[in-house]
Chain A
């Protein structure tokens, strides 16, 4: 379980995250939605230790994240940021093998390579595993990075806008993979997402943020609601039921 209690982050005396308390259940996909500048990425970055919080408590499975060893945390929680400009000449396989660093410290054993192979197969990258990252399309590169996160084999996976710059096919593919990770392997996924329809169709829980504060958190059906969405986005969004899914029509 990921627990945030009264978390605060400020830049130049302006609170970008203000008194946020969120708890995320194990074995779910939790989407963080909200307008630009709501503090979604900041929040995810704080949970994954990329930036320090100014106040409050963040704990994972009851343990304060700042009091854990870096290496132990890296076996527990992983993050994939939206910009992954790796300027190294790496093949997909080499990139994925970096995911084993917390376990192997760079000296991979048989078991590590088995995990790498598993992750590559999971993301269906087998036939292009020796291609260099700069030869790949955006979608392939994103899949390679997700494979690395899978190889890292953490209980908790945080993703910051993983669908950025991807077409519908790849977006759906990635969301389905995340769903499988949760349903088959029991992972817990926290995801920052812009398209509320993806959030609506694939997540169990939604946390809606606005101006650094939580507007609403709860099961998907509670948050994908006309009144709630108006409060978050300041616009009227029609909600249609299509094949038992709530689809937001926001092209008014």
Chain B
């Protein structure tokens, strides 16, 4: 079975799961439930796409299949920001209560942070991408420790609110923000199109890319900005969600067995969407919200991934 066929199959599965999620056990106040479920599905499609897309691009830039944008420290920054607001202004403050303000603040700060990080690191000749990752990782750890520190100090009731933010949640996304994110993502994708042709070549490594005429520094910097914006949108919308990336992109690589980025990105996006919707469905219907979606996805996805590795019995 070729990778084109497999991509189509993934698309069909995603569509079927979306329909099941929307129409399963549809009773009671349909006028209330239906729009809510559609918003939920849209949110999951958006976050799934953002994560699958950003992680595939990131792994290609770094030429490394175990590095995810997680390492840039955006997740930790998001948690630090949320905790800091609760710590400084309390959970009843306007920023905490209004999802709009919170969203803009989160996206703004995360994007600003990444831009500053890139600017600082790409100044002069020091263009080593692994140095960027090292700094991102250290800052991420720093943010994490600082978050812990503040969480220890705040009132236990306030801590409950903070803890709530630590897990990705699709249940309470704001409809307006979903459509706003959709708009942002379309803009970012349109901007990305001009760089798309370089991805296959970038995957050959820096030297080959330069040899084949890719304006390497220019392209990589812009792709990193795109990655940061996508991750920021997804995180601000549903919470820390980058854990998904490592799994879905690797599953896409193993499943599709191609180097063509069009299919790899489509595959990662579709697998993310399937994982999110499937996981959310199981969380809602089977576990009645007793567990979180990250647990389900990591459990099922991890088992599948190990199965793929054992079957292949290769580094690939």
Chain A residues within CB distance 8 Å of chain B: 48-50, 52, 70-75, 78-81, 84-90, 94, 98-99, 101-102, 105-106, 134, 152
A70 to B217: give the CA distance in the assembly, Å.
11
Minimum distance in angstroms from A96 CB to a CB of chain B: 12
A152 to B207: give the CA distance in the assembly, Å.
15
Do the beta carbons of B259 and A90 come within 8 Å of each other? yes
Do the beta carbons of B213 and A75 come within 8 Å of each other? yes
Do the beta carbons of A106 and B200 come within 8 Å of each other? yes
* 0 or 1 for each of B179-213: is its CB under 8 Å from A? (1 = yes): 00000000000000000010011011111101111
Q: Pick from A84, A88, A89, A152: contact of B212, CB below 8 A.
A: A152
Which chain B residue has the least Cβ–Cβ distance from A134? B316
A residues within 8 A CB of B314? 134
A88 to B257: give the CA distance in the assembly, Å.
9
Do the beta carbons of A81 and B213 come within 8 Å of each other? no
B291 within 8 A of A: no
Instruction: Take A52-B125, A106-B197 as given contacts and tell me if A87 and B63 are in contact as well, using a CB distance cutoff of 8 Å.
Output: yes
B residues within 8 A CB of A152? 211-212
A-B contact pairs, 22 of them (CB 8 A): A70-B214, A71-B213, A74-B212, A74-B213, A75-B213, A79-B207, A80-B211, A84-B208, A85-B205, A86-B205, A87-B63, A88-B203, A90-B259, A94-B259, A98-B201, A98-B208, A101-B201, A101-B212, A106-B200, A134-B316, A152-B211, A152-B212
A residues within 8 A CB of B203? 88
Do the beta carbons of A88 and B204 come within 8 Å of each other? yes
B258 within 8 A of A: yes
For window 253-271 of B, CB contacts with A under 8 Å fall at 257-259
For window 54-95 of B, CB contacts with A under 8 Å fall at 63, 65
B215 within 8 A of A: yes
Do the beta carbons of B213 and A73 come within 8 Å of each other? yes
Do the beta carbons of A89 and B211 come within 8 Å of each other? no
Do the beta carbons of A102 and B212 come within 8 Å of each other? yes
Minimum distance in angstroms from A169 CB to a CB of chain B: 27
Do the beta carbons of B213 and A102 come within 8 Å of each other? yes
A residues within 8 A CB of B212? 74, 98-99, 101-102, 152
Do the beta carbons of B316 and A89 come within 8 Å of each other? yes
B residues within 8 A CB of A70? 210, 213-215
Q: Pick from A72, A78, A88: contact of B259, CB below 8 A.
A: A88
Which 10 residue pairs spanning A and B have beta carbons closest together?
A74-B213, A71-B213, A88-B259, A102-B213, A101-B212, A106-B197, A70-B213, A70-B215, A79-B211, A105-B197
Do the beta carbons of B205 and A49 come within 8 Å of each other? no
A70 to B210: give the CA distance in the assembly, Å.
8
Minimum distance in angstroms from A130 CB to a CB of chain B: 14
A105 to B213: give the CA distance in the assembly, Å.
10
* 0 or 1 for each of B1-20: is its CB under 8 Å from A? (1 = yes): 00000000000000000000
Interface centre among B65, B203, B314 (most CB of A within 10 A): B203
B residues within 8 A CB of A73? 213
Minimum distance in angstroms from B262 CB to a CB of chain A: 10
Minimum distance in angstroms from A66 CB to a CB of chain B: 12
Minimum distance in angstroms from B215 CB to a CB of chain A: 5
Interface centre among B63, B213, B257, B314 (most CB of A within 10 A): B213
Which chain A residue has the least Cβ–Cβ distance from B206? A50
Minimum distance in angstroms from B264 CB to a CB of chain A: 10
Which chain B residue has the least Cβ–Cβ distance from A45? B207
Which chain A residue has the least Cβ–Cβ distance from B211? A79
Minimum distance in angstroms from A87 CB to a CB of chain B: 7
Interface centre among A48, A84, A89 (most CB of B within 10 A): A89
